[in-house]
Amino acid sequence: MGDTLILKKYQQLAPTDQMLVGDFIDFLLTKSTTSTPDQKPKKRTLGTLKGQIQMAADFNEPLEELKEYMQ
């Protein structure tokens, strides 16, 4: 989309909507300057929650609330 077309569409917006467009442009500029393509995602460590999560013994048993549907 060309600059002139974008400007024409921008000028057709209400002033409050023009402010929103400006805020969105600021957001995009901030987003593009803070993230660099060289950043690698952090490597996850396996087993960090080991022993902290427990399943109920009857985990696979049907729920009382659904018994009428299980017949």
| pLDDT 10s digits, 45-66 | 999 999 999 999 999 988 888 8
- Find where tokens 């969105």 sit: 24
Mean pLDDT of 13-19: 94
Residue percentage of the chain with pLDDT more than 70: 93
pLDDT band at 36 (very low <50, low <70, confident <90, very high): low
Distance (Å, rounded) from C-alpha 53 to C-alpha 5?
56
Q: What global pTM score does this model have?
A: 0.45
State the pLDDT at residue 34.
65
Please tell me which residue, 34 or 41, carries the higher pLDDT value. Answer: 41
Q: Is the separation of the CB atoms in 13 and 21 below 8 Å?
A: yes
